[in-house]
Chain A
Amino acid sequence: MKKETYMLKINNLHVQLEEEDKQILKGVNLEVEPGKVHAIMGPNGSGKSTLSYVLAGRPGYEVTEGTAHLGDVDLLDIEPEERAAAGLFLAFQYPVEIPGVGNMTFLRTAVNAQRKARGEVEMSAAEFLKVIREKAKTLKIDADMLKRPVNVGFSGGEKKRNEILQMAMLEPKMCILDETDSGLDVDAMKLVSEGVNALRDEGRGFLVITHYQRLLDHIKPDVVHIMADGRIIKTGGPELALEVENNGYADILSEVV
């Protein structure tokens, strides 16, 4: 399989809110190659989370211009579940609690729904159990957390670990992590980062959205982008993240204007 098959290509993406006439993304251009980790940093309100939601297909946004492809799949043309089956995964900043749906049931439904959509053989209950137990163990997710309703009563750290477990089970081609470090203490961040690093693979791309440099100490990016006011205004190597950490965004913002 060629590496470029699962390249994420975003071209001149313009997005506004459906309910109000407010432009949030104003022409985002971005390419994430398989095997690479790209980070997006930026001040509050720059459009980072919007970018991740729009790619995943969350309702409430209107794309007014531009394109987004995962390989040759036109993401903006298909439903959220089809995007997932095509290999896109969004680790939520605020994972949703779903009372009444067991974590395990949810994950098995998801894994098999994706397999079915891709015309693959569905996982048997026994096989699924074996795999999930193994992966849960490395993320220090105990049997109780697997049985409990999805994210209900989970601590902030547990929720984020649960996101990474889902990512590990679904084996996506393109992973978007939306402020996965928010609400995590140092130990939890380390655990989550280890989970992410274990999934790094030459066929899999990552887009890591974060406010802070510290996550990038654990998940080493290949490329760092700075986003402001709905655009990517600067792109560089890991040193760009350090620059932000030391000097804040003000210098970079003033450079561009």
Chain B
Amino acid sequence: MAVKKQINTAETEARIDTLDLPQDGWSAASRADALTRLRAMGMPGRRDEYWKFTRPDALVQVSAPVAEVFDNDDAPLMDGQPCLRAVFVDGVFDADASDDLALEGIEISRLADTSADIHWAQSLHGTLETAGQTPVARPLAALVTAFATDGLLIRVTGNPSKPVNVIYNRTSDDADVMLHHVVKLEQGASLTLLESGPAAARLGTVMEVDVADNAAFHHVRTQGRDHQRLAATHVFGRLGTESTFKSFTLTANGKLTRNECVLELTGDDAVAHVAGACVGDGDFHHDDTVFVTHDAVNCESRQVFKKVLRNGATGVFQGKILVKAGAQKTDGYQISQSLLLDGDSQFLAKPELEIYADDVACSHGSTSGAIDEEALFYLRSRGVPEEAATNLLTLAFLAEAVQEIENEDLRADIETRMSGWLERHRS
């Protein structure tokens, strides 16, 4: 039975009131549409089924709660290695701190640059986000499409020699930032996109990624250790025939993080992997919400999420595989696991499969467990002190998610970061 959703009009209008809708440039029409969508959906509320495990209040309220600037001592991803660096400070692109954005096989512009006439972006901006609003509403994404002030527009026509490395810095305690990146990979093109650094006190992002036939998109990001921050991120991907989409996120700390990833496999033989590893301590709340739609033949999708939680931390996983009629030979896999280091922490999981084709292999699993006492004793009996042994087992638990990163250097970078974080936690 369909229940008419009550729309939070007052909250929605209050938020909209404080924001300026850009009226000029190529994105104006798309932004106006997004605002219309947002008004029709209303901001998420506590009664929304999709927000059952995560309270949206702090993401919805008019102004961002103050989050002290964190003295970040984590280097950006792939620091010192060949990358095209694009730096944002408090949500504004910083050309001086960034590299020259020219690179063979790739065109990069700014969303904030309204003077340019960027046809390809105009036809993509807001499109995948709109598609991703069905069957589940994602109003915070529409909010970003309407009001984002900056972001990168990346068109990949070839195989650029190095990754695009987006680095977020923060100088203000109340930076309330909305960023919208639009990425289009043309046929046979490939791109590795990195994101790291503390972005804002409150961050809302949308990244739309259109992966054409035979193209490959690799995405690795870290969400830093600035604990007070709030983040609601959205990745929308559309995959063409024989294309690849792989995304990995490492999260440490953060009072509230909601990472949504919505993928649609529209071409045959496409491969989509989404993975996440997170380490949470105390008043930490981390939510991975993933929706993968198979709408083509012989595609593969994997969702691998691992969460280490302690001192009352909360982890959430809402993951869905939807296999449409006709999407035969689908190979879908989903696993979400938590390692609870104490009895105060909790993991809330809602794995879902919805299948309308009859020749598919889909599996899903979700587990919660503590450190394996037998393994712990075995390690200690060999002389490894309890803390080091616990760290070793924790890293081992996270390893399956990290293995999803294809590039070896990036994988090593993430592994080093994780062990560093764990050691610091304990010191």
Answer whether residue B343 sits at the interface, using C-beta atoms and an 8 A cutoff. no
Query: Interface 1/0s, chain A 87-124, versus B by CB < 8 A?
Result: 00110100111111100011101110110010000000
Nearest CB in chain A: distance from B337 CB, A:
12
Answer whether residue B369 sits at the interface, using C-beta atoms and an 8 A cutoff. no
Set of chain A residues within 8 Å of B373, measured between Cβ atoms:
59
Kindly report which residue of chain A lies nearest to residue B392, judged by CB atoms. A101
Answer whether residue A84 sits at the interface, using C-beta atoms and an 8 A cutoff. yes
Answer whether residue A58 sits at the interface, using C-beta atoms and an 8 A cutoff. yes
Set of chain A residues within 8 Å of B400, measured between Cβ atoms:
100
Kindly report which residue of chain B lies nearest to residue A97, judged by CB atoms. B375
Within A74-93, the residues touching B (CB, 8 Å) are 79-81, 83-85, 89-90, 92
**Are A90 and B386 closer than 8 Å at their CB atoms?**
no
Answer whether residue A170 sits at the interface, using C-beta atoms and an 8 A cutoff. yes
- Bound-state CA distance A109–B392 (Å) is 9
Set of chain A residues within 8 Å of B393, measured between Cβ atoms:
98, 100-101
Answer whether residue A42 sits at the interface, using C-beta atoms and an 8 A cutoff. no
**Are A109 and B375 closer than 8 Å at their CB atoms?**
no
Kindly report which residue of chain B lies nearest to residue A167, judged by CB atoms. B382
**Are B377 and A114 closer than 8 Å at their CB atoms?**
no
Kindly report which residue of chain B lies nearest to residue A111, judged by CB atoms. B383
Answer whether residue B118 sits at the interface, using C-beta atoms and an 8 A cutoff. no
Query: Interface 1/0s, chain B 346-361, versus A by CB < 8 A?
Result: 0000000000000000
Kindly report which residue of chain B lies nearest to residue A151, judged by CB atoms. B378
**Are B379 and A79 closer than 8 Å at their CB atoms?**
no
Set of chain A residues within 8 Å of B392, measured between Cβ atoms:
101, 105-106, 109
**Are A96 and B378 closer than 8 Å at their CB atoms?**
yes
Set of chain A residues within 8 Å of B383, measured between Cβ atoms:
81, 84-85, 110-111, 113-114, 117, 170
Of B378, B386, B398, most buried by chain A (CB within 10 Å of CB) is B378
Answer whether residue B116 sits at the interface, using C-beta atoms and an 8 A cutoff. no
Kindly report which residue of chain A lies nearest to residue B384, judged by CB atoms. A113
- Bound-state CA distance A59–B378 (Å) is 11
- Bound-state CA distance A81–B399 (Å) is 25
Answer whether residue B115 sits at the interface, using C-beta atoms and an 8 A cutoff. no
A113-B385 contact in complex given A59-B373, A100-B396, A100-B400, C-beta closer than 8 Å: yes
- Bound-state CA distance A90–B386 (Å) is 17
Set of chain B residues within 8 Å of A58, measured between Cβ atoms:
377, 381
**Are A84 and B377 closer than 8 Å at their CB atoms?**
no
Set of chain A residues within 8 Å of B389, measured between Cβ atoms:
81
What is the interface residue range for chain A against chain B?
Answer: 20 to 34
Set of chain A residues within 8 Å of B399, measured between Cβ atoms:
100
A84-B381 contact in complex given A98-B375, A98-B393, A100-B399, C-beta closer than 8 Å: yes
**Are B397 and A100 closer than 8 Å at their CB atoms?**
yes
Answer whether residue B28 sits at the interface, using C-beta atoms and an 8 A cutoff. no
Nearest CB in chain A: distance from B393 CB, A:
7
A80-B397 contact in complex given A113-B384, A113-B385, A117-B383, C-beta closer than 8 Å: no
**Are B382 and A96 closer than 8 Å at their CB atoms?**
no
Nearest CB in chain B: distance from A178 CB, A:
11
Answer whether residue A180 sits at the interface, using C-beta atoms and an 8 A cutoff. no
**Are A81 and B380 closer than 8 Å at their CB atoms?**
yes
Nearest CB in chain B: distance from A180 CB, A:
15
A110-B382 contact in complex given A59-B373, A80-B377, A100-B396, C-beta closer than 8 Å: yes
Query: Interface 1/0s, chain A 45-72, versus B by CB < 8 A?
Result: 0000000000011110000000000000
- Bound-state CA distance A137–B400 (Å) is 30
Answer whether residue B66 sits at the interface, using C-beta atoms and an 8 A cutoff. no
Set of chain B residues within 8 Å of A113, measured between Cβ atoms:
382-385, 388
Answer whether residue A166 sits at the interface, using C-beta atoms and an 8 A cutoff. yes
A92-B384 contact in complex given A98-B393, A100-B395, A100-B396, C-beta closer than 8 Å: no
**Are B380 and A80 closer than 8 Å at their CB atoms?**
yes
Set of chain A residues within 8 Å of B375, measured between Cβ atoms:
96-98
B384 touches which of A56, A57, A81, A100 (Cβ 8 Å): A81
Nearest CB in chain B: distance from A257 CB, A:
35
Answer whether residue B408 sits at the interface, using C-beta atoms and an 8 A cutoff. no
- Bound-state CA distance A149–B397 (Å) is 12
A79 touches which of B386, B395, B397 (Cβ 8 Å): B386
Set of chain A residues within 8 Å of B380, measured between Cβ atoms:
57, 79-81, 84
Set of chain B residues within 8 Å of A110, measured between Cβ atoms:
379, 382-384
Kindly report which residue of chain B lies nearest to residue A94, judged by CB atoms. B374
Set of chain B residues within 8 Å of A100, measured between Cβ atoms:
393, 395-400
- Bound-state CA distance A101–B384 (Å) is 13
Q: Which A residues are closer than 8 A to B by beta carbons? A: 56-59, 79-81, 83-85, 89-90, 92, 95-101, 105-107, 109-111, 113-114, 117, 149, 166, 170
13 A-B pairs in the complex with CB atoms less than 8 angstroms apart: A57-B381, A59-B373, A59-B377, A79-B385, A81-B383, A96-B377, A96-B378, A97-B375, A98-B372, A106-B379, A107-B382, A109-B388, A113-B385
* A-B pairs, 6 with minimum CB distance: A100-B396, A84-B383, A114-B383, A110-B382, A80-B380, A96-B378
